[in-house]
Protein backbone atom coordinates (compact mmCIF):
# COMPACT_ATOMS: atom_id res chain seq x y z
CA UNK A 1 0.00 0.00 0.00
CA UNK A 2 1.37 3.44 -0.92
CA UNK A 3 1.85 6.22 1.62
CA UNK A 4 -1.06 8.05 0.00
CA UNK A 5 -3.34 5.03 0.30
CA UNK A 6 -2.32 4.38 3.92
CA UNK A 7 -2.94 8.01 4.92
CA UNK A 8 -6.26 8.02 3.08
CA UNK A 9 -7.36 4.89 4.93
CA UNK A 10 -6.17 6.33 8.26
CA UNK A 11 -8.47 9.32 7.67
CA UNK A 12 -11.43 7.07 6.93
CA UNK A 13 -10.71 4.92 10.02
CA UNK A 14 -9.70 7.87 12.27
CA UNK A 15 -6.29 6.39 13.00
CA UNK A 16 -2.96 7.98 13.88
CA UNK A 17 0.37 7.52 12.12
CA UNK A 18 4.05 7.67 12.92
CA UNK A 19 6.53 8.66 10.23
CA UNK A 20 9.75 10.45 9.45
CA UNK A 21 9.54 13.81 7.66
CA UNK A 22 12.42 16.23 7.07
CA UNK A 23 14.59 14.17 9.42
CA UNK A 24 12.16 14.22 12.36
CA UNK A 25 10.04 11.38 13.72
CA UNK A 26 6.49 12.62 14.09
CA UNK A 27 3.24 11.29 15.54
CA UNK A 28 0.31 12.75 13.67
CA UNK A 29 -3.35 12.40 12.81
CA UNK A 30 -4.21 12.96 9.14
CA UNK A 31 -7.28 15.14 8.55
CA UNK A 32 -7.30 16.04 4.84
CA UNK A 33 -5.65 14.43 1.80
CA UNK A 34 -5.61 15.37 -1.86
CA UNK A 35 -3.58 17.60 -4.15
CA UNK A 36 -2.41 21.17 -4.43
CA UNK A 37 -0.82 22.36 -7.68
CA UNK A 38 -0.57 18.71 -8.75
CA UNK A 39 1.34 17.62 -5.63
CA UNK A 40 -0.13 15.00 -3.29
CA UNK A 41 -0.37 16.60 0.14
CA UNK A 42 -2.07 16.02 3.46
CA UNK A 43 -3.00 18.16 6.43
CA UNK A 44 -2.02 16.57 9.73
CA UNK A 45 -2.42 17.42 13.38
CA UNK A 46 0.96 16.69 15.02
CA UNK A 47 0.65 15.62 18.64
CA UNK A 48 4.00 13.97 19.30
CA UNK A 49 7.56 13.61 18.13
CA UNK A 50 9.63 16.51 16.85
CA UNK A 51 9.83 19.08 14.08
CA UNK A 52 12.15 21.92 13.13
CA UNK A 53 9.84 24.39 14.90
CA UNK A 54 9.00 22.06 17.79
CA UNK A 55 5.54 21.40 19.16
CA UNK A 56 3.67 24.36 20.54
CA UNK A 57 1.96 24.30 23.93
CA UNK A 58 -0.93 25.89 22.01
CA UNK A 59 -2.55 22.93 20.20
CA UNK A 60 -4.00 25.27 17.55
CA UNK A 61 -0.46 25.77 16.21
CA UNK A 62 0.42 22.09 15.65
CA UNK A 63 -1.13 21.68 12.20
CA UNK A 64 1.26 20.49 9.48
CA UNK A 65 0.89 20.58 5.71
CA UNK A 66 3.07 17.77 4.37
CA UNK A 67 4.00 16.64 0.88
CA UNK A 68 3.30 12.90 0.74
CA UNK A 69 6.38 12.08 -1.39
CA UNK A 70 8.68 13.30 1.42
CA UNK A 71 7.24 10.98 4.09
CA UNK A 72 9.40 8.01 5.11
CA UNK A 73 8.88 5.00 7.37
CA UNK A 74 5.11 5.50 7.55
CA UNK A 75 3.12 3.20 9.81
CA UNK A 76 -0.13 3.23 11.71
CA UNK A 77 0.12 3.44 15.49
CA UNK A 78 -2.41 2.57 18.17
CA UNK A 79 -2.71 6.07 19.67
CA UNK A 80 -6.14 7.61 20.16
CA UNK A 81 -7.34 10.02 17.46
CA UNK A 82 -5.91 13.49 18.09
CA UNK A 83 -7.13 16.88 16.88
CA UNK A 84 -7.50 20.53 17.88
CA UNK A 85 -10.74 22.46 18.11
CA UNK A 86 -9.79 24.72 15.20
CA UNK A 87 -9.96 21.99 12.53
CA UNK A 88 -13.01 23.65 10.98
CA UNK A 89 -10.88 26.72 10.18
CA UNK A 90 -10.41 27.00 6.41
CA UNK A 91 -7.27 25.12 5.39
CA UNK A 92 -5.01 25.98 2.44
CA UNK A 93 -2.93 22.80 2.33
CA UNK A 94 -5.12 20.89 -0.13
CA UNK A 95 -7.06 22.44 -3.03
CA UNK A 96 -8.54 19.24 -4.46
CA UNK A 97 -9.75 17.23 -1.46
CA UNK A 98 -9.95 13.45 -1.88
CA UNK A 99 -10.93 12.61 1.72
CA UNK A 100 -11.43 14.73 4.83
CA UNK A 101 -12.05 13.61 8.40
CA UNK A 102 -15.44 14.44 9.80
CA UNK A 103 -14.72 15.86 13.28
pTM of the model: 0.92
Average confidence (pLDDT) over 27-56: 95
Report the half-sphere exposure of 40 (CA within 13 A, side-chain side). Answer: 12
Three-state SS string over 11-72 comes to HHHCCEEEEEECCEEEEEEEEEEEEECCEEEEEEEEEEECCCCCCCCCHHHCEEEEEHHHEE
Q: In whole angstroms, what is the distance from residue 2 CA to residue 8 CA?
A: 10
Say what the pLDDT of residue 53 is.
Answer: 87
pLDDT at 7 over 70: yes
Mean pLDDT of 51-73: 93
A 10 A CB-CB count for 61 gives 12
Residue 102: pLDDT over 90? no
Q: What is the pLDDT of residue 90?
A: 78
What's the rounded Cα separation, in Å, for the pair 52 and 96?
27
Amino acid sequence: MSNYDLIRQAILDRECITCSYNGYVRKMTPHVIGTKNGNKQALFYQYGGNSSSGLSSNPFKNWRCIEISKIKDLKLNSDLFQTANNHSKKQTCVDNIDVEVNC
